[in-house]
Homo-oligomer: A and B are copies of this chain.
């Protein structure tokens, strides 16, 4: 865990002026650069010391056998694991034969700076070698948003004292040895030397390597080229080996002289195209980058981000730490999803190997709500990726004795990779979550072509799944038995409320979409009987209710279970899954993450206000938040039922998940869904935004401590600015057609150039705040912290303080 204060609160950057080598892996995740296609962890250019070296290409995975102590029908036999591809970040430096290494000599200063507006990672180091040579090393690194196969580094060395002789080795290294993971099941399995060398070449300032993954047979090509500026006498040479490309630059610098090396890196990969084609693709990307030049890449990057921030920025006033954290979150969500184009958005983006690089329902349920409202094209891409895996999902459904499509719980390329079905295959809600994302996207964009094609396909096959998964009882109620909802501390239960409500929406939406697109529906074999069957299942969907307690059980029988003995559980026993068997967790009332609470957010229409209040209080005292997916949903409901201070605490937890390393595994990669969840917590939570049938409703209220919240929403091609202040909210139509929203239930019609400010009605008196399990209270957000300088300590460790 990174001990706070690690980062000064600055509105547009993340800066580390001190590097704690013990938690280097966390820094590498936080400072990772990615465009959704290429991912480079924030490893130091010189390669060592490192926490976990990582260079990733979205979709480049290796297969590994999934072993079972006892086999079973339908268990996936093969898993997919994101691999560390050829490292193009490496630039080693020798100063008078002494390797530049932070662990030796003396480090006068060191700074890492992730600039969220420029989209680059800057580094400044002033170092005295063991031989007392003093140099300043400055690097700027980018992974291009505009040229998706390109990354580049500007590497500068200046002599600060006497004359120095420099050797710079700029490298491509394949099959880097990796530290072996610990026993935590969430850490990716190690895969040794997954890349088989195919060809290598080097000439002048260029080198290239081509490899093939051993079992998955994906071809990966990398090339690099350099532009070198320095005093006379600079010499450049290139060489290559099967797993190494190296360009060596030698120079002698007088004090004040500087060597500047621009390293351009181009990647290409394919599972179907030929080795020469992939090699040439990388070379072409590289040529394009060199053509654009370093300054050109920088300028493109800035322009791309200017547009992004124009659409996506969230302003938070009164809490500079949250302001920084939410922009950091938005930037990393963009990095994960911006250019995934045809590939999945993994749970950790391309920032680390955690969860084997798999994508889960996180994408549709946490990342796409944000992307849909700020970068809708990226959301469409993500759904098109899901759609591209539809044949695999239909095959899986058939293997499982079901109709339609059963999308995988975790995957890279579309095949189910879950090796534990009670918390994998049984979590069928992923299918309704995909449908939910389709509904949200279509409703938010009005993209009819998408609905007719990708949308109807996805809605139809998921509706067919639900229809075959559920059944009617003698009273005509439709049940979905033996499934696992979002809460992973329960499994294989009947009538999970979240699942049933989401399936209900899925079935209704499929029938509606089929009605709107009769021709496509006919092509899909949908007839009136089938649509009637969907509607009937939706209308008779059983939602269990515990009348005695006056709450909804998360699933049938849940509220009758023994309540977990929280008082006997020590702080060290969290996360519970590492200290208690599943069987014990499953049969007791203990909730890992929002489940019924998430249902009240996603299907708020299915609950009365009173039910929300009672349910929220009931589940708060059971929810331990051992999942990073929980805080954001709890923030939304806390705000809705009037517990603003608690909502604020959960906003902070979602936003600071990685900056504070709250789950102690940020080193494996960032929690992209939690980062996206911080937007959800602010926009759906504090601003109370809800979308339904193409309309937006807001019910903003700021907690004590925040003075302003501002954000932008793209809806049906219009762009809407929302600014919440103490006592008022202002709605501005930035561009697009006039537009109606509601503010605390009252309609407000917006036209361009006419911002409307509405008073925020006084909050009803707050009922007593619900309690959380002992020791699992969220950190209390300190009111009105200092605007600058280090923030107060927050994190689980300080909860009792």
Contact = CB atoms under 8 A, between A and B. Distances in A.
Contacts of A583: 400, 421-422, 425-426, 482-483, 492
Given A556-B557, A557-B557, A70 B420 contact: yes
B492 A492 contact: yes
Interface string A69-86: 111111110010000000
A561 interface: yes
B73 A400 contact: no
A577 B72 contact: yes
A496 to B, nearest CB: 12
B419 A581 contact: no
A471 interface: yes
Contacts of A425: 581, 583
Contact of A69 (B74, B79, B399, B482): B79
Nearest to A577: B73
Interface string A572-599: 0000011111111011100000000000
A562 interface: yes
Interface string A423-449: 111100000000000000000000000
B492 A491 contact: yes
Contacts of A556: 557
A684 interface: no
A479 B560 contact: yes
Nearest to A421: B583
Contacts of A426: 583
Interface in A449-508: 471, 473-474, 479, 481-483, 491-492, 494
A548 interface: yes
A180 to B, nearest CB: 15
Contacts of A72: 185, 420, 577, 581-582
Contacts of A185: 70-72
B73 A492 contact: no
A557 B494 contact: yes
Contacts of A418: 69-70
A581 B69 contact: no
A272 interface: no
Q: How many copies does the complex hold?
A: 2
Contacts of A423: 70
Given A69-B67, A562-B471, A581 B79 contact: no
B419 A580 contact: no
A518 B618 CA distance: 45
A68 interface: yes
Nearest to A549: B474
A578 B73 contact: yes
A401 B579 CA distance: 9
Residue among A422, A471, A560, A586 with most chain B CB within 10 A = A560
A420 B183 CA distance: 19
A68 B69 contact: yes
Contacts of A420: 68-70, 72
B419 A68 contact: yes
Q: Is the interface of A mostly helix, strand, loop or mixed?
A: loop
A587 B492 contact: yes
Residue among A71, A402, A577, A582 with most chain B CB within 10 A = A582
A72 B582 CA distance: 7
Given A561-B481, A580-B401, A494 B70 contact: no
Interface in A543-560: 548, 556-557, 560
Nearest to A557: B494
A130 B423 CA distance: 62
A114 to B, nearest CB: 33
Contacts of A524: none
A783 interface: no
A421 B581 contact: yes
Contacts of A479: 560-562
Contacts of A67: 67-69
Nearest to A569: B401
A70 B587 contact: no
Given A474-B548, A479-B560, A492 B586 contact: yes
Residue among A401, A474, A494, A588 with most chain B CB within 10 A = A401
Nearest to A76: B69
A227 interface: no
Contact of A587 (B424, B494, B579, B587): B494
B587 A483 contact: yes
A579 to B, nearest CB: 6
Given A66-B69, A185-B71, A401 B581 contact: yes
Contact of A562 (B402, B424, B481, B582): B481
Contacts of A419: 68-70
A557 B492 CA distance: 13
Interface in A527-570: 548, 556-557, 560-562
Contacts of A76: 69
Given A401-B580, A482-B587, A583-B425, A494 B74 contact: no
A399 B580 CA distance: 8
Nearest to A484: B583
A560 B473 contact: yes
A761 to B, nearest CB: 39
A471 B560 CA distance: 10
A583 B416 CA distance: 15
Contacts of A587: 481-483, 492, 494
A73 B561 contact: no
B561 A494 contact: yes
Contacts of A73: 577-582
A434 to B, nearest CB: 19
A757 B560 CA distance: 54
B482 A586 contact: yes
Nearest to A482: B587
A363 to B, nearest CB: 20
12 contacts: A67-B68, A69-B75, A69-B79, A69-B418, A72-B185, A73-B581, A401-B581, A401-B584, A479-B562, A481-B561, A481-B588, A483-B583
Given A68-B419, A401-B580, A483-B587, 11 more contacts: A66-B69, A68-B420, A69-B418, A72-B581, A72-B582, A422-B422, A422-B492, A479-B560, A482-B561, A482-B587, A491-B492
Nearest 6 A-B pairs (CB), nearest first? A69-B419, A482-B587, A67-B67, A471-B562, A74-B581, A66-B69
